Amino acid sequence: MPSRRALLSAIGTAASIGTAGCIGQIRRELAGYTPIEGPCDAPTGTWPTAGGDPGRTGRTTTVQPAPDATAVDLLASVRDEEGQQQHALSLPVVADGIAYISVTGGLVAVDLNAPMDGPIWSRDLDVGITAAPVLACGAIFIPGTDHLTALNSTSGERYWRADAVGFSDTSAAVLENSIYVAGFSPAAVDIRTGTVQWLEGAGETLALDDDGIYTTRSDSQVSGIFAYDLNGEERWRVSGEFVGSASVLDGTVWVADCQGTAYAIDARTGEVYWSQSLPGVNKIDAGLAVAGDEVFVPAGTGTTSVALDAATGEIRWAVDTGIVTGRPVVGDDWVAFGRTNDGVSVYDRSTGEERITWSRTEYHLGTIGGLVPVKEGFVIWERSSLGLSLLR
């Protein structure tokens, strides 16, 4: 079987490849085409994709906000042509103190240290956006409902557009020289040229490790978690109503189903190591978080968030958080939950003891849909109002 690098280098000239029946037609949209050049060193202070890394672990090296943190509206000076304030359509991504935000009709870059100065740049995009962007190689990639767009992260100028689509916050992630996108089916896109290799498979969300793609899908036609190698060959599948993205770390995949059961699965074989039914947990759209030997399960539309032993599934602690529709964020010795109707709460990672809560009422926040950690703070996506606040 050819290597992934050999495969992606070949697809620019081939019309189709019929390997094991899983690889389909190759296409590239050349409108405004400019290749991405230069080094791909990771920027500092980065949260480059939903979940923080391609494995969607939710892990951060930042510190929590101060108890007396203040909240700033990051979109207060982001206006459309009619002067109306823009809305955030998804979680943003962050690098070097700049937040890249999908807004109605396009993308904007906002300096977290000077949000009232307005956008550093804005770019109109002729595509519907419901997915979080992805940062890599000095570029920002925006999965849309019609195509994937690559922009220069400094200027907002377009590099290329590719015939790949994504709908969820966790529909795209980067590994080495490829960006993988899960829409109707997974696609591998060369990060520099936008060349697309369609894969015939199932996937609405995805997570990556060094040699695998892990997708989930739940609809009337197909439901489950599916694993592919980086050439698009299916390795295994586990049936179930999995709606949130998986988290993958050190050869294990963790995922939860609509009924609030968490699973640990061997990333190579699909063997289910354990499953744990969690009372008070229900329908986790955003996914889990994992760090060290702990897995953190948000309440979803239930009432209770839980910490599990990653190896055994044993419950270590459970706390009454109320509804939590966003992925947990895991720090050095703490874990944060965006409590949808109540505020942002930080708990001791080992014991589950509540350390501090920034009240939604006190900080005038909408319903909380997710958190992005930044230096000494959080960016809070407010699902009901599509607002975006910096708590720092």
| CATH value at residue 352 | 2.140.10.10
Do residues 349 and 362 lie in contact, with contact meaning Cβ atoms separated by under 8 Å?
no
The confidence score (pLDDT) of residue 348 equals: 98
pTM of the predicted structure, to 2 decimals: 0.91
Q: Tokens 């935000």 belong to which residue?
A: 101
Question: How confident is residue 22, by pLDDT bands cut at 50, 70 and 90?
Answer: very low
pLDDT at 87: 94
Total domain count for the chain? 1
Question: Does the pLDDT at position 341 exceed 50?
Answer: yes
Q: What is the pLDDT of residue 221?
A: 81
What are the residue ranges of helices labelled H in the chain? 4-10
Pull the structure tokens for residue 373.
């950690």
Residues ≥6 apart with Cβ < 8 Å to 376: 62, 63, 64, 65, 66, 392
Q: What is the pLDDT of residues 46-90, one digit of tens each?
A: 899 999 999 999 999 999 999 999 999 999 999 988 889 999 999
| Of 181, 160, 191, 171, the residue nearest 40 (C-alpha) | 191
Range of the domain at 111: 4-391
Query: Rounded to an integer, what is the distance from CA 378 to the centroid of its chain?
Result: 16
Does the pLDDT at position 19 exceed 80?
no
Long-range contacts of 149-152 (CB under 8 A, 24+ apart): 149/125, 150/36, 150/191, 150/194, 151/107, 151/123
Q: In which band, very low, low, confident or very high, does the pLDDT at 218 lie, cut at 50, 70 and 90?
A: confident
Of 17-31, 72-86, 209-223, the poorest mean pLDDT is in 17-31
Q: Which of 353, 377, 289 is nearest to 59 (CA)?
A: 289
pLDDT, tens only, 151-191: 999 999 999 999 888 888 899 999 989 999 998 788 999 99
